[in-house]
Amino acid sequence: METKVRVALVDDHTIVREGFKALVNSFGNFEVVTEAKNGEIALDMLDKNQIDVLISDISMPNMSGIDLCYKLKHEKPELPVIILSMHDNKEYLINAYKAGAAGYLVKDCDKEELHFAIKKVAKGGTYFGNSITYSMMDSLVDVNNEPQKKFDTLTKREIEILNLLVEGLNTKQIAEKLFISFRTVDKHRSNMMEKLGVHNVVDMINFVRNNHLINN
């Protein structure tokens, strides 16, 4: 007897989970073995269950599907994730691709497409629909990777100071911790803002956080 592929569902709407669970279980060779209503619960769930494929909504409270993808990309890179969205939006699709998702489906997809997508990613493949080719995807990701290119211009010392700013340290605390002058910290901070194209420290912190450029 063929071993069933174990699937996890993550969505903050119970009725949506029930619908997708019924569909996935109807395929015969797949089985939903666990569910979660947000990304944080999903991470805890994955530590307690053996999962082969994870299907996650893109928009959820506390931790979005994209944020969950980024986490799993580092913590469980072998686990394929399919992102579900209400929108057939190219920007969302690219964000999912950049985050490490193995697939992307709109919630009004038909049963056959859902089955095909799960089967393909379970075997190590990817599925992002037929609306965009992977060569186009790679070029679009490169165009949309401007934040990373900006971040890569920072020096090792600038990144060190940036991490301390993200942790909440002020100029005086950073200077004391790194054994440098206040003026040196201010100079590095000004250089970083210019390189990243932001106008203040708050915007700089939001820039690196929103683009997942640091681990804090």
CATH, residue 13? 3.40.50.2300
Lowest mean pLDDT among 1-5, 93-97, 106-110, 146-150: 1-5
Burial 143-176 (b: 16+ CB within 10 A, else e): eeeebeebbeebeeebbebbebbbeebebeebbe
Read off the pLDDT of each residue in 83-104 and give the average, rounded to a whole number.
85
Is 175 among the domain residues?
A: yes
In a domain, 20, yes or no: yes
Nearest CA-CA partner of 121 in 137, 102, 100:
102
What pLDDT does 86 receive? Answer: 87
Q: Which domain holds residue 116?
A: 5-143
Among 110, 143, 176, the domain-final residue is 143
Q: How confident is the model at residue 94 (pLDDT cuts 50, 70, 90)?
A: confident
Per the structure block, which two tokens stand in for 90? 């190219």
Q: Which residue has the higher pLDDT, 148 or 57?
A: 57
In a domain, 196, yes or no: yes
Residue carrying the six token digits 């506390």: 62
User: Residues of the chain with pLDDT > 90: what percent?
Assistant: 49
| Residues 65, 155 within the same domain | no
Q: What is the pLDDT of residues 165-208, one digit of tens each?
A: 999 999 999 999 999 999 999 999 999 998 898 888 988 998 88
Q: For position 216, what pLDDT does the model report? A: 56
Residue 91's pLDDT is what?
77
Using pLDDT thresholds of 50, 70 and 90, give the confidence band for residue 140. low
Is residue 190 domain-shared with residue 166, that is, in the same domain? yes
Provide the pLDDT for residue 139.
55
Looking at the structure, do residues 9 and 29 belong to the same domain, yes or no? yes
Interval 98-117 mean pLDDT: 89
Q: What is the pLDDT of residue 17?
A: 93
Residue environment code for 77-102, b if the CB has 16+ CB neighbours within 10 A, otherwise e: eebbbbbbbeeeeeebbbbbbbbbbb
Integer-rounded Cα radius of gyration of the chain: 21
Residue 115 in any domain: the answer is yes
In a domain, 216, yes or no: no
Distance, CA of 133 to CA of 192 (rounded, Å): 36
Give the Cβ contact number of residue 139 at 10 Å. Answer: 11
- Confidence label for 74 from pLDDT (cuts 50, 70 and 90): confident
What are the helix (H) ranges across 106-210? 111-122, 134-143, 146-151, 156-166, 171-178, 182-196, 201-210
Number of domains forming the structure of the chain: 2
pLDDT at 33 (0 to 100):
94
**Averaged pLDDT for residues 145-173:** 90
- The span from the CA of 115 to the CA of 132, in Å, is 20
Residue 115 has pLDDT above 90, yes or no: yes
- Give Cα separations from 10 to 13, 32, 115, 140, 186 (angstroms): 9, 11, 17, 27, 44
Q: Which residues on neighbouring strands pair with residue 127, listed in sequence order? A: 103
Sign (positive or negative) of CA dihedral 121, 123, 124, 125: negative
Asked if residue 181 belongs to a domain, the reply is yes
